[in-house]
Amino acid sequence: MPLLFSYGTLQQREVQLANFGRELNGSKDLLQGYIVAEIEITDARVLRESGKAMHPILRYSGNIANEVSGTVFNLTDAELAQADDYEVEAYVRIQVTLQSGTQCWIYAAAI
């Protein structure tokens, strides 16, 4: 099963229910070498589901002193595809290794 590190709206219960039809259980972890910035969301569906116009977005810093806390979720392949559909074009899904050594997917800035 794919693992997904969430640091933003995919941690919200209402977003999980809208996208996956269930509330996700996860474990806390840290991502090093990234900082959190914000982007404005204009996609009507994402605005409706998250209730927020400004969303966090990861930007690579390369500095391991920069840490982002979040939650690692176990998803099915179908749920990972649904998460891909939820994220707007400003995000790209990439694989990383977290502080714990866990390898997982993240959504980070596309540029």
Provide the pLDDT for residue 14. Answer: 96
Is 20 in a helix, a strand, or coil?
helix
Mean pLDDT of 96-102: 98
Q: Which fold has domain 3-109?
A: Hypothetical upf0131 protein ytfp (3.10.490)
Q: Which pLDDT tens digit goes with each residue over 70-87?
A: 999 999 999 999 999 999
pLDDT at 46: 95
| φ, ψ for residue 108, nearest 5 deg | -125, 175
Q: Quick one: pLDDT at residue 111?
A: 78
Percentage of residues in the chain having pLDDT higher than 70: 100
**Distance between first and last Cα of the chain:** 28
Question: How far from 26 is each of 8, 14, 79, 110, CA to CA, in Å?
Answer: 14, 16, 14, 25
Q: Where are the domains of the chain?
A: 3-109
Contact indicator for 41, 49 with CB cutoff of 8 Å: no
> Which residues have CB under 8 Å from 91's CB, separation 6+?
57, 107, 108, 109, 110
The verdict on pTM exceeding 0.85 is yes
> Residue 59 has what pLDDT?
97
User: What is the tens place of the pLDDT at every residue in 21-66?
Assistant: 999 999 999 999 999 999 999 999 999 999 999 999 999 999 999 9
- Give the per-residue pLDDT at 27: 97
